[in-house]
Structure 1
Amino acid sequence: MTALIGKKFENGVFIMADKRITYRGTENFSDDEKKVIALNQNVIFAFAGVKNIIDICMEELKMFSLGTNSIEEIEAQSQKLFRNSLEMFQKLYPEQDYATVYLLAGFTADGIPRVTYFSSDDAFQKSHPLDFFYKTFPNTEMMYLRNYLINEVDATRTDLYYFIIQFSSAIRQINNEKVSKTAYSIFLTKNGLFEIDIDEDGIIKIVQMNLDS
């Protein structure tokens, strides 16, 4: 289960997810999974669904992303890699559910923030641009999250701290044992990357990321 929420700003992109990962075929889980990942200083990645599909080619996508800042090139490469990952997973586990989505966010060559959504429904081959977005797996929690975001969140606001509080509150209130009360997020800006950890009490810790360290 994953709760994933994000918003595109005029000067950047903010994406948050809960931190719980459940190990397939067991009741075991951990609450230290970062489902939002910096690929380089210009592009971030987030996922929800089957972690096995993501893991198959994640390192290869990271390596590719270190060689380019082009969000368009990274999107195209990701579609090739994750289509192959999906095919491999389906061959290995033909009876298992494979519903998975991922997001790529970055800046275009002319400095405009861009967020694109890809889904296993079409083998990650169609791209969908987004501005304000949310996703849960399983979909049973989507109605709750949708209603909360519509009724409690003013999407026209521009202050990041407001969205950190509102998005993390939405995640903590999801009543599903597969969703943690903790959350992790990244804010991508032209001035750098900032990671934000939110604990189960809503305490916020913000740190500027240094990918070279």
Structure 2
Amino acid sequence: MTALIGKKFKDSVLIMADKRITYRETTRFNDDEKKIIALNHNVIFAYAGVKNIIDLPLEELKTFSNKSNSFEEIKTYAQGLFAASLQLFKKLNPDQDYATVYILAGFSADGLPRVTYFSSDNDFQKGNLLEFFYKTFPTSEMEHLREFLINEVDVNKNSLKYYIRKFSAAIRQINSGKVSKNAYSIFLSKKGLQEIDINQHGKFTIVPFNPNY
């Protein structure tokens, strides 16, 4: 399961997710997974759902993103990659659930931040623009998360630390063994990328992103 939360500001984007992945048909999990990835200094990527669908084309997407700073070009290229990966997963695993979403956030040609959401429900072919967003798998936790965010978060605030505290609190209050109490976040702005690690007690550190793309 994944809990994914984010917000687009006037000139920046914050995306946060828990850090747990569970291995299908087992009780094993990894509690140090970064589900938000910097493709380059201009575009970040986040996902929730079936990790196999995401992992297969991700390196190719990173390679393409190293050659292009265009958010629009990267968005179009990603759609083709993940649509093909989804079809392959369905073919190889016809009886398995394939529900997966991914988010691309970056600065478009007009210099404004864009956040676009894609879903396996339509084979990643339709992008929806987002402002304030949240997603959980399984979706049974969505109503509970929505209630917390509506009651606890003032979306008119502009403080980065305010949203780090609120979003990480929202993740920690999810009562599921498939969601970590630890969270990871990337903040994208014109000044650069920052990454934030949040532990199970809500303590966080903000550091400049050390690129490996």
TM-score between both structures, scaled by the size of structure 1: 0.99
Kindly provide the CA deviation profile for residues 70-118 of structure 1, in whole angstroms up to 9, marking residues without a partner as x: 1110110000000000011011111000000000000012210000000
Whole-Å Cα distance in 2 between the matches of residues 191 and 141 of structure 1? 35
Q: Secondary structure at the match of 2:67?
A: coil
Whole-Å Cα distance in 2 between the matches of residues 82 and 212 of structure 1? 22
Kindly provide the CA deviation profile for residues 188-213 of structure 1, in whole angstroms up to 9, marking residues without a partner as x: 01010000000001110111013169
Match of 1:97 in 2: 97
Match of 1:69, as an amino acid? N
Match of 1:127, as an amino acid? G
Match of 2:167 in 1: 167
User: What does residue range 163-202 of structure 1 map to in structure 2 within 5 Å?
Assistant: 163-202=163-202
Match of 1:155 in 2: 155
Whole-Å Cα distance in 1 between the matches of residues 173 and 76 of structure 2? 36
Q: Secondary structure at the match of 1:187?
A: strand
Q: Secondary structure at the match of 2:117?
A: strand
Stretches of structure 2 that go unaligned for 5 or more consecutive residues are none
Kindly provide the CA deviation profile for residues 113-147 of structure 1, in whole angstroms up to 9, marking residues without a partner as x: 00000000000000100000000000010001100
Q: Cα RMSD over matched residues?
A: 0.9
Kindly provide the CA deviation profile for residues 35-92 of structure 1, in whole angstroms up to 9, marking residues without a partner as x: 0000000000000000000001000000000011111101100000000000110111
Shift of 1:25: 1.6
Whole-Å Cα distance in 2 between the matches of residues 33 and 212 of structure 1? 16
Aligned-residue identity in percent: 66
TM-score between both structures, scaled by the size of structure 2: 0.99
1:19 aligns with 2:19: yes
Whole-Å Cα distance in 1 between the matches of residues 42 and 137 of structure 2? 27
1:128 aligns with 2:128: yes
Match of 1:110, as an amino acid? D
Whole-Å Cα distance in 1 between the matches of residues 129 and 179 of structure 2? 26
Match of 2:17, as an amino acid? A
